Amino acid sequence: MKILLNKIYKHQVLTEQEAFDALIHITNQTYSEIEIAAFLSAFNMRSITVEELNGFRKAMLQQCVAIDLDAFQPMDVCGTGGDGKNTFNISTATAFVLAGAGIPIAKHGNYGVSSVSGSSNVMEHLGISFTNDTEKLNQQMKEANLCFLHAPLFHPAMKNVGAIRKQLATKTFFNLLGPLTNPAQPKVQMVGLFHLQYLRLYQYLFQSSEVRYSIIHALDGYDEISLTADTKVIFNTKEEVFSAHDFGFEKVQPHQIFGGNTVEEAAYIFEQILKGKGTKVQNQVVLANAAIGYKTYKPETDLKDAVAIVTESLFRGKALEKLTILKELQ
């Protein structure tokens, strides 16, 4: 580890193999917690390279508890987190709205690190038990059109660094790895990034895969469509910048999408939205994200039509029905 740290401190980059080996050693607990913390922090001092991120990704996937959900052709809706905005759980609500609209979802998530509540915090609070059992996850997909994949159950590396990340309380390269390491490896992904500079990096990695994707970054720093500013979206074949008006909505203020100060508050907001009792702004932010998610899965769909489809899912109780079924399957 000392050699790698000195290399990073000298502003040198790691090869893909060095990055791969480092993450294997982290997973195997070869390094001390202090060494791991130093390694994670060092990457906050400069941008990660494509080779480094790909090496970390390959190591994560090699050690992953893989799950085969290909029969359902699922999609993942996952942000990196780390934007420091503490919004309500937009991507999680979006996932349920999409499931209600007929899009199969394999949602990859984890506990919040740099925010009050991650997707796993909300799911756990609402009574969803985490599992990596293939039979149970397949049943969830069949009956709810959605399953939740709690990252530490599938990734030993994430489990081993969880406490360290929580103590650091800041984003690390593990934020970037989350959307890239869904254990089901879905062929359709909607990914939100906390920094504009990483859009090209993700695009490069996705271009060398068979994934149909949308990569999202709100230009004022959110890792999702916030409607607080324009949002840049990169699809497989084009790039677009969307304003709130493109969805038929109005621009909103940051305080209107605040996620609460506790997990309990975050879970309450999430459930109220799925019940159709969210605020106008909360609903519109979720619907904007869900519309882009729908277009990611079905690119031929017109944006206005996509908005109408996901609106029906939310306000006719289809999204809430998926949550209810998931609870009943516990």
Q: In 133-262, which residue ranges form alpha helices assigned H by DSSP?
A: 134-144, 151-154, 156-168, 173-177, 198-207
Backbone angles phi, psi at 251, to 5 degrees: -65, 145
Confidence (pLDDT) at 34: 93
Confidence (pLDDT) at 322: 98
Give the pLDDT confidence of 141-164 residue by residue, as tens digits.
999 999 999 999 999 887 778 888
Give the pLDDT confidence of 205-247 residue by residue, as tens digits.
999 899 999 999 999 999 999 999 999 999 999 999 999 999 9
Confidence of residue 36 (pLDDT cuts 50, 70, 90): very high
Helix axes 134-144, 318-328, angle to 10 degrees: 150
Confidence (pLDDT) at 289: 98
- Average the pLDDT over 294-319 and give the result: 98
Q: In 64-178, which residue ranges form alpha helices assigned H by DSSP?
A: 90-100, 119-125, 134-144, 151-154, 156-168, 173-177
Superfamily in which the 2-63 domain is placed by CATH: Transferase, Pyrimidine Nucleoside Phosphorylase; Chain C (1.20.970.10)
Compute, in degrees rounded to 10, the torsion defined by CA atoms 205, 211, 214, 216: -40
Which is it for strands 212-218 and 231-235: parallel, antiparallel or unpaired? antiparallel
**Residue 231 contacts residue 216 (beta carbons within 8 Å):** yes
Class of domain 70-328: alpha beta
Which DSSP helix (H) or strand (E) runs through 34?
helix 33-42
Distance of CA 299 to the CA centre of its chain: 20
- In whole angstroms, give the CA distance from residue 279 to residue 56: 40
Give the largest Cα separation in the chain, rounded. Answer: 58
Confidence (pLDDT) at 159: 77
3-class secondary-structure state, position 46: coil
Confidence (pLDDT) at 114: 66
- In whole angstroms, give the CA distance from residue 211 to residue 69: 15
Give the pLDDT confidence of 72-118 residue by residue, as tens digits.
999 999 988 878 888 999 999 999 999 999 999 999 999 987 678 89
Distance of CA 176 to the CA centre of its chain: 9
Where do the domains of the chain lie?
2-63, 70-328
Choice between 327 and 172, residue whose per-residue pLDDT is larger: 327
- In whole angstroms, give the CA distance from residue 107 to residue 155: 15
DSSP for residue 128: P
pTM: 0.94
Of the candidates 192, 244, 231, the residue with the CA atom closest to the CA atom of residue 214: 192
Distance of CA 52 to the CA centre of its chain: 20
Give the pLDDT confidence of 236-290 residue by residue, as tens digits.
999 999 999 999 999 999 999 999 999 999 999 999 999 999 999 999 999 999 9
Question: Cβ neighbours of residue 92 under 8 Å, at least 6 residues apart?
Answer: 107, 109, 119, 122, 123, 270
**Quick check: 51 pLDDT over 70?**
yes
- In whole angstroms, give the CA distance from residue 151 to residue 153: 5
- In whole angstroms, give the CA distance from residue 107 to residue 314: 18
Confidence (pLDDT) at 82: 77
